[in-house]
Amino acid sequence: MILFPNAKINIGLNITERRADGYHNLETIFYPIKINDVLEVIEADSLSFTSSGLDIPGRMEDNLCVKGYHLLKKDFNIPPVSIHLHKHIPIGAGLGGGSSDAAFFIKLMNGKFNLGLNIEQQQDYARTLGADCAFFIENKPVFAFDRGDEFEPIKLDLSAYHIALVMPPVHVSTSEAFRGIQPAPVKDSLYDLIYEPVREWKKYIKNDFEANIFKNHIEIRWVKAALYEAGALYAAMSGSGASVFGIFETKPDLSALETDNQVFYGV
């Protein structure tokens, strides 16, 4: 069985509070985009994990798909499987690629072995693997809050726009991004602001990670500026970086960025 885990972007990200469990409360909009991995699972004599495409840091046991297998194995009598992941979603990009693989793995296993898990139950399993994971179970635009793992559906359709995504040659780890952040409550919630016209977003919708990350990685700031110069209605870093997306009325010319960065059009 094969599924195609996709990436997400964060439109706005406000870090509102430090929590007692070491995490932060935040609010953000998650929006699915069309950059995909390929995840194949077949029944086998023993558990194995192989990958192709981009190099995935860490050992096999650290891979979120393998962690997902062990998580389900605790509660269900599932057979060993051979997992193959073709990695295409940039890593350390704020695109939630690893989280998506994990969520799609849970969905795949649920379907393949008739585990009978409903959406909420799949989200509960996903949540234990990472704050981003649960979003990918339903994979629809949402307003996310708490650790970023509680959701309220929103009506947001950007399909009339051209979204371009630029990945500078920099990786930012999520915990690095949270270091030095001063959480602050918000006056106006993204839950309402997201319904402002896209060309107004730059006045109201911010990613709280940008200031810190731009200080240490000036090239990410340059990419954002270049997207505005190329005509973006809105441009921002996604999640904890390093990728930056731009929302355009039509396909932009970003050829000047292609030398130093990976550029994805029409995601």
Ligand X SMILES: C[C@](O)(CO)[C@H](O)COP(=O)(O)OP(=O)(O)OC[C@H]1O[C@@H](n2ccc(N)nc2=O)[C@H](O)[C@@H]1O
Ligand Y SMILES: Nc1ncnc2c1ncn2[C@@H]1O[C@H](COP(=O)(O)OP(=O)(O)OP(=O)(O)O)[C@@H](O)[C@H]1O
User: Mask: binding to ligand Y, 194-223, rule CB under 6 A, as x and -?
Assistant: ------------------------------
CA distance 258 to 260: 6
The one catalytic residue among 37, 132, 149, 208: 132
Residues 184-213 that bind ligand X (CB under 6 A): none
- Judged by beta carbon, residue 39 or residue 101, the one nearer ligand X is 101
Sign of the dihedral through C-alpha 53, 127, 153, 198 = negative
Q: How many residues bind ligand X (CB under 6 A)?
A: 18
Sign of the dihedral through C-alpha 267, 213, 54, 141 = negative
CA nearest to 160, candidates 199, 125, 186: 199
- Please list, in sequence order, all residues whose beta carbon lies within 8 angstroms of the beta carbon of residue 145, skipping any fewer than 6 positions away: 25, 26, 27, 151, 152
User: Mask: binding to ligand Y, 48-77, rule CB under 6 A, as x and -?
Assistant: --------xxx---xxxx------------
CA distance 85 to 91: 13
CA nearest to 95, candidates 107, 87, 106, 83: 87
Minimum distance, C-beta of residue 96 to ligand X, in the bound complex (Å): 6
Minimum distance, C-beta of residue 111 to ligand Y, in the bound complex (Å): 19
Active site residue 132: yes
Q: How many residues bind ligand Y (CB under 6 A)?
A: 23
**Residue numbers at the binding site for ligand Y (CB under 6 A):** 56-58, 62-65, 85, 87, 91-99, 101, 132, 174, 239-240
